[in-house]
Structure 1
Amino acid sequence: MTTKVLIVDDHALFADALERVLSNQNMELRLVNTATEAMEAAPVWGPEIALVDLGLPDMSGVELGEKLIEMLPELKILAVTAMNEPNALRATIKAGFHGFITKSMPLQQFVASIETALSGQMVIPHKLAAPAAGQMSAEERQAALLIKQLTQRELEVLTLLARGAGGEEIAQTLSVSRNTVRSHVQNILTKLQVHSRLEAVAFAARHNVVKVSHSSLEHA
């Protein structure tokens, strides 16, 4: 079974070279040059992973990643950049990316990075792992550990709560019972160590897990 890989990069030489390497790895590729093209292609084509250049001409790669995750919550995203900056790494992780790879990396290593991300693990260059962690506050490190405990379905429920959805709407959206929604919400509260839906939404917004709509404050 082939893996669908969306490549979002406006540097033609690099993108073409990457495409040649990945096309020999049982991967089906779609190459686009802008964030706009990516947002049009992703919902229709349904990639399993996206490689997103952080320096796109029409939108930052981090912002694009956030939008793609909203469209396709199961999508894995790897940031691809010429930069070797811990701050850039932290921004992508906060946005929900599964990792960060630099264009200086041998192209063959991109295959291993994609496989790692698809397995659900984070992809972080060794040279950046320590500096990035060192720049995180104790609160950020603790929050990252708590958030990491959430399952994909719990993240979906939390995202819907942040958008202002009530229990009935969440149940209908996810095609589950109200009791199942209550169970997911209770698990979220326990794992995030908070006491209410409002606190959970505030925690998630503070740590850039979700974006909050004003109506969420009324339903939480």
Structure 2
Amino acid sequence: MNNAFTNNGQKREPQNVFIAAETREEAERLAERIRSASDYNVIGIATDRIRMEEAISGFMPVDALITDIALNGEDVTPLFAKARQFNENIDILVYTTNTQDNAVIRAVLAGAMGYLLKGDQEDILTSMRLMRGGGSPVSPTVTRSVLKALQSRSNSPTLRAKKKDSTEIAPLSQREAEILALLAKGISFADIGDILSISPHTVTAHIKKIYRKLQVHSRGEAVYEAACMGILPDQHMLS
């Protein structure tokens, strides 16, 4: 299913996507998947830091970046901030095999809006569309790392002062509550659809609504905020 239209029925302009991967074969495979959708244009690929830096430095109109956390052994997360200098609204999705806590947290703090593991069940296009809608797709197996970072940040006096109360959010529907509980268990979007007998598109739509109501942008933030508000038991936060 393609998401070439906004919620009010207006046609969306396709996003320009640049892909950086460890091998050309992998970059081409990702490009082929992205090109299958009318709401995205693949404008280039790279397998090294230099080529990626050239692409995001204003020479190309890059709306979304899919990249590994390192190319040829070089950490590319410092380039995320540079990309935002030229397009502050750029969507950055890390697509990698790296599950180390420090790598996940480094990427998120550098500006990545999503973190997917290669071979995971989360579909790359579904994740891109969720990110474009304001969400942050994160693979279930790395959600723990994101939660740790959020928990650490929440301990600061400033963020504690801004902590939301459950009375400040719109109530979740029964279906949204069911999906949130499954998200908290680390279940993939695809499996949530199978469990609830609904389509992946419907799952994505519900998740966007959950994020909007909780005023968050990712699975990790949603679970953490919901637990803090008493919507979920505390043990969901880091289990």
Cα distance in 1 between the residues matched to 2:27 and 2:155: 34
Does 1:91 pair with 2:103? no
Counterpart for residue 63 of structure 2 = 48
Q: By how many angstroms is 1:126 displaced?
A: 1.6
Give, as a single letter, the amino acid of the residue that structure 2 aligns with 1:49. A
* CA gap 1:24/1:128 in 2 versus in 1, 3 angstroms: same
**Cα distance, 1:7 vs. partner?**
0.2
Structure 2 counterpart of 1:159:
none
Mapped to 1, the partners of 2:81 and 2:87 lie a distance apart of 10
- 1:79 has 2:91 as partner: no
Shift of 1:71: 2.9
Q: Which amino acid aligns with 2:36?
A: N
Q: Tell me the TM-score normalized by structure 2.
A: 0.54
**CA apart distance, 1:42:** 2.6
- Give the TM-score normalised by the residue count of structure 1: 0.58
Maintained 8 Å contact 2:27/2:46: no
Distance 1:80 1:144 in 2: 32
Once the two structures are TM-superposed, the CA of residue 138 in structure 1 deviates from its matched residue by: 3.7
1:31 pairs with 2:45: yes
Answer whether contact 2:104 2:145 (CA < 8 A) is retained. Answer: no
Shift of 1:132: 3.3
RMSD value, Cα: 2.8
Q: Distance in 2 between matches of 1:144 and 1:3?
A: 36
Q: Which moved more, 1:75-84 or 1:37-46?
A: 37-46
Question: Which amino acid in the other structure matches residue 29 of structure 2?
Answer: A
- 1:122 is paired with a residue whose SS is coil
Of 71-80 and 57-66, deviating more is: 57-66
Q: Hey, which of these two has a bigger chunk of helix by percent?
A: 1
| Correspondence for 1:112 among 112, 120, 126 | 126
**Mapped pair 1:17 → 2:29:** yes
Q: Label 1:143 to 1:47 Cα distance change in 2 as closer, same or farther (>3 A).
A: farther
Structure 1 residues 141 and 77: CA distance shift in structure 2, 3 A: farther
CA distance in 1, matches of 2:131, 2:155: 21
Cα distance between partner residues in 2 of 1:98 and 1:105: 17
Written as runs of structure 1 = structure 2, the 5 A alignment for 1:118-157 is 118-134=132-148, 137-140=151-154, 142=156
Amino acid in the other structure paired with 2:98:
M
Give the Cα–Cα distance (whole angstroms) in 2 for the partners of residues 28 and 144 of structure 1. 41
Q: Show structure 2 runs of 5+ residues with no match.
A: 1-12, 164-239
1:67 Cα deviation after fit: 2.0
Note if contact 1:54-1:79 (Cα within 8 Å) is conserved in structure 2: yes
The whole-number CA distance in structure 1 between the counterparts of 2:153 and 2:85 is: 25
Displacement after TM superposition at 1:90 (Å):
1.0
How many Å separate the matches in 1 of 2:127 and 2:24?
Answer: 21
